[in-house]
Amino acid sequence: MKVRIWGSRGSIAAPGPETIRYGGNTSCIEVRGDADETIVLDAGTGARPLGESLMERQVQRIDLFLTHLHVDHLEGLGMFAPIWSPDVELHIWGPPSPVASLDERIATYFSPPLFPVHLSEVPARVTFHDAPRDPWTIGSITITADPILHPGATVGYRLESDGKSLAYVTDHEPALGTDLDAASTSWISGYALAHHADLLIHDCQYTEDEYPDHVGWGHPSAAHVASYARRAEVDRLVLFHHHPGHADAELEAMRAAVLAGWQVEPQRCIVAAEGTEIDV
């Protein structure tokens, strides 16, 4: 699998000179499978440039996996060029809800007055799927979705292909109510998704100073990320979902904090930057 990051910011886009190295677009990742499958993880503002690239490449089937429907993971969908092409088959997967269907919930944002066109009117051939409870397969990739700790229905995804695994676990507060260093792994949210992953892409929103004022908001501190990666025994870690107020230098300091807690070789932990490509 080849991974490319198109947006790594959390909460709201944060363009500007202080975020130029790691980027200001919100969550969006492209995964290309060994059989040329195109999987998109979340549709933040990074979906706009990704969509242009996919159109240039004339990709005709796209599977978009939404972790949840908070705006920073959905706001790029309206400007995602493939959704405006009748030649594109777009499958949108997301967390099931007992309240409303996935398309109804997405249309809350993707309809007037918040957006000029209703979701049901887009030209692409769109199919909506509740993320299944059991693993499923798209081409050469097996996908598992599992609920994780974040306000509202939220899932993380694990993608496996050719013996390699990618865990995408963003918007996740695994330390809420849990001592990550002491708890049995069976009581750690998201543990199964990340366990022995070759690559874990994980939320790293808060510093230790910021976290106490944001307990329950659904995001971890850098120390939590270090503990989670260590307990899940992942190989490589990508710090993701950067706080919009964190400038490039602060993100690098957070990486240092994660490495200090995780105690591994520095090359095993990187800060997600727009344009980063990773082979899994």
Positions in the binding site for other proteins (CB under 8 A):
96, 98, 133, 135, 142, 144, 146-149, 158, 160, 165, 176-178, 185-189, 191-193, 195-196
Angle between helices 248-262 and 222-232 (to 10 degrees): 40
CA-closest candidate to residue 138, choices 197, 173, 90, 208: 90
Query: Residue-wise over 186-215: b if at least 16 C-beta within 10 A, else e?
Result: eebbbbebbbebbbbbbbbbbbeeebeeee
Residue 91 and residue 106 in contact, taking contact as beta carbons nearer than 8 Å: no
Cα 108 from chain centre: 21
Shortest Cβ 98–other proteins spacing (Å): 7
For residue 195, which amino acid is it? H
Would you say 188 or 269 has its CB closer to other proteins?
188
Nearer to other proteins, 96 or 244 (CB): 96
**Shortest distance (Å) from residue 186 CB to other proteins:** 5
Residue with Cβ nearer other proteins (17 or 163): 163
* Helix (H/G/I), strand (E/B), else coil: 213: helix
Q: Residue 182 CB, nearest distance to other proteins (Å)? A: 13
Q: How far is the CB of 164 from other proteins (least distance, A)?
A: 12
Query: DSSP H helical segments within the chain, as ranges?
Result: 47-56, 102-109, 191-194, 222-232, 248-262
Shortest approach of other proteins to residue 216 CB, angstroms?
Answer: 11
Q: Which is nearer to other proteins, 16 or 132 (CB)?
A: 132
Between 54 and 180, name the residue whose CB sits nearer to other proteins. 180
